[in-house]
Amino acid sequence: MTARLYDLSSSWTFANTHQEVWDVIADPNMSWPDWWPGCTYAKPLQRSPQAGTSNEELLLATTATLKFKASLGYSLAVSYHPTHVESPREVVFDAGGDLAGEGCVILSPLDNGHTQMDIEWRVRPTSRWMTMLSPVASPAFTFAHAALMRRGESGLRAYLAMGKATNGQ
């Protein structure tokens, strides 16, 4: 049985500058667990020994495996490996682990000085239980994803409000 493909999108808006948002979401040290409720490291960051010195080169050489606790009680471990970085606008990444596919984050400055972040996912579950349940549970999985993303948006908003953007350091 082939797992269902999920096309998921979210759009977040922040009262922060484009660069402030970029510095957090494109942090080569993948500090997402610092601000995303229910997100932890599933294993240590992996970085290619050929990593360069710029934030973009470090990000492209990094694979992060993060564990997300869904509102429905299950957890997913998802690896993120950036494949394209266009600083400070776009990160394209491959996803692996419990969800396989690809994703993209695009930042756009707004006229009022705020920043819009658009997130696109095209993933399939890899676990047998999710694959088997997808025909009937896809609305619940989509709901859980939306709730998880709302927690991420809220966490990032609070993190940025505390001045936690650190220019990738």
Tens digit of each residue's pLDDT (9 = 90 or more) over 123-157: 999 999 999 999 999 999 999 999 999 999 999 99
Length, in residues, of the chain: 169
Burial 36-62 (b: 16+ CB within 10 A, else e): bebbeebeeeebeeeeeeebbebbbbb
Give the CB-side neighbour count of residue 163, counting CA atoms within 13 A. Answer: 0
Close Cβ partners of 54 (under 8 Å, ≥ 6 residues apart): none
| Higher per-residue confidence, 50 vs 67 | 67
81 vs 161: CA distance, rounded Å: 28
- pLDDT of 52 over the 90 cut: no
User: Please, which contacts does 75-80 make with residues 24 or more away whose CB atoms are closer than 8 Å?
Assistant: 77/42, 80/30
Question: Tokens standing for 166?
Answer: 């650190």
SS3 call for 125: strand
Question: Tokens standing for 164?
Answer: 């936690």
φ, ψ for residue 18 (rounded to 5)?
Answer: -50, -50
- Look up the CATH superfamily of 6-161: START domain (3.30.530.20)
Band (49; pLDDT cuts 50, 70, 90): confident
* Helical (H) or strand (E) element with 142: helix 128-161
Strand partners, 152: none
Which residue type sits at 169? Answer: Q
pLDDT more than 90, % of the chain: 85
